[in-house]
Chains A and B, each alone.
Chain A
Amino acid sequence: MKKGTSLGARLLAAPHLVWSAIFVVVPLLVVAFYAFTDSSGAFTFNNIKEINNYAGTFALSIWLGLIATAICLVLAYPLAYFISQSKFNVQQTMITLVMLPMWMNFLLRTYSWMTILENNGLINTFLTWIGLQPLHMINTRGAVVLGMVYDFIPYMILPIYSVMVKLDHSLVEACQDLGGNRIDVFRRVLLPNSVPGVVSGITMVFVPSVSTFYISQKLGGTSTALIGDVIESKFMTSNNYHGGAALSLVLMVLILICMAVMNRFSGEDDLENGRLTV
Chain B
Amino acid sequence: MKQKRSVLLKIYAALIFIFLYAPILVLVVFSFNSSNSTAQMSGLSLKWYSELAHDSATLQAFKNTMILAVLSAVISGVLGTVSAVGIDNMKHKWLKNATRGITNIPMMNPDIVTGISMMLLFVFAGRMLGKTGVLGFSTMLIAHITFCLPYVILSVLPKLRQIDPNLSEAAQDLGCTPLQSFFKVVLPAILPGVITGIMMAFTLSLDDFVISYFVSGPAAQTLPIRIFSMTKKRVTPDMYALSTIMFFAILVLMLLINYAQVRGEKKTAAKKA
Direct contact of A and B (CB under 8 A): yes
Bound-state Cα–Cα, A98 to B250, Å: 13
Determine if A105 and B116 form an interchain contact, defined as CB atoms under 8 angstroms apart. Answer: no
Bound-state Cα–Cα, A256 to B107, Å: 11
Determine if B118 and A23 form an interchain contact, defined as CB atoms under 8 angstroms apart. Answer: yes
Residues of A within 8 A of B99 (CB): 13, 16-17
Determine if A107 and B102 form an interchain contact, defined as CB atoms under 8 angstroms apart. Answer: no
Residues of B within 8 A of A8 (CB): 178
Total chain A interface residues with beta-carbon distance under 8 A = 99
Q: Is A190 on the interface with B (CB-CB < 8 A)?
A: no
Interface set, chain A 6-61, CB cutoff 8 A to B: 6, 8-17, 19-20, 23-28, 30-31
A107-B149 in contact given A24-B106, A102-B207, A112-B26 (Cβ < 8 Å)? no
Q: Is A115 on the interface with B (CB-CB < 8 A)?
A: yes
Bound-state Cα–Cα, A96 to B203, Å: 11
Minimum CB distance partner of B179 in chain A: A8
Q: Is B77 on the interface with A (CB-CB < 8 A)?
A: no
A159-B121 in contact given A248-B113, A252-B109 (Cβ < 8 Å)? no
Minimum CB distance partner of B119 in chain A: A27
Q: Is B224 on the interface with A (CB-CB < 8 A)?
A: yes
Residues of A within 8 A of B17 (CB): 97
Determine if B189 and A207 form an interchain contact, defined as CB atoms under 8 angstroms apart. Answer: no
Determine if A78 and B27 form an interchain contact, defined as CB atoms under 8 angstroms apart. Answer: no
Total chain B interface residues with beta-carbon distance under 8 A = 98
Q: Is A162 on the interface with B (CB-CB < 8 A)?
A: yes
Q: Could you tell me the distance in whole angstroms from the C-beta of A268 to the nearest C-beta in chain B? A: 9
Determine if A12 and B86 form an interchain contact, defined as CB atoms under 8 angstroms apart. Answer: yes
Residues of A within 8 A of B158 (CB): 159, 162-163, 196-197, 199-200
Most buried by B among A105, A150, A200, A213: A105
Q: Could you tell me the distance in whole angstroms from the C-beta of B189 to the nearest C-beta in chain A? A: 7
Residues of B within 8 A of A204 (CB): 107, 151, 154, 200
Bound-state Cα–Cα, A204 to B108, Å: 10
A116-B22 in contact given A24-B146, A108-B227, A256-B108 (Cβ < 8 Å)? yes
Interface set, chain B 144-164, CB cutoff 8 A to A: 145-146, 149, 151, 153-155, 157-159, 161-162, 164
Residues of A within 8 A of B262 (CB): 89
Determine if A166 and B86 form an interchain contact, defined as CB atoms under 8 angstroms apart. Answer: no
Determine if A100 and B155 form an interchain contact, defined as CB atoms under 8 angstroms apart. Answer: no
Residues of A within 8 A of B183 (CB): none
A27-B117 in contact given A92-B258, A107-B235 (Cβ < 8 Å)? yes
Most buried by A among B30, B169, B200: B200
A162-B165 in contact given A82-B12, A155-B151, A251-B108 (Cβ < 8 Å)? no
Q: Is B243 on the interface with A (CB-CB < 8 A)?
A: yes
Determine if A231 and B26 form an interchain contact, defined as CB atoms under 8 angstroms apart. Answer: no
Q: Is B50 on the interface with A (CB-CB < 8 A)?
A: no
Minimum CB distance partner of B162 in chain A: A166
Minimum CB distance partner of B107 in chain A: A207
A100-B250 in contact given A16-B83, A116-B26, A166-B189 (Cβ < 8 Å)? yes
Residues of A within 8 A of B27 (CB): 104, 108-109, 112
10 contacts between A and B (CB under 8 A): A28-B109, A79-B12, A106-B224, A112-B24, A116-B23, A200-B158, A213-B110, A213-B112, A235-B116, A251-B110
Question: 9 tightest CB-CB pairs across the interface, nearest first?
Answer: A13-B86, A12-B86, A16-B83, A196-B158, A112-B23, A27-B117, A112-B26, A211-B110, A4-B169
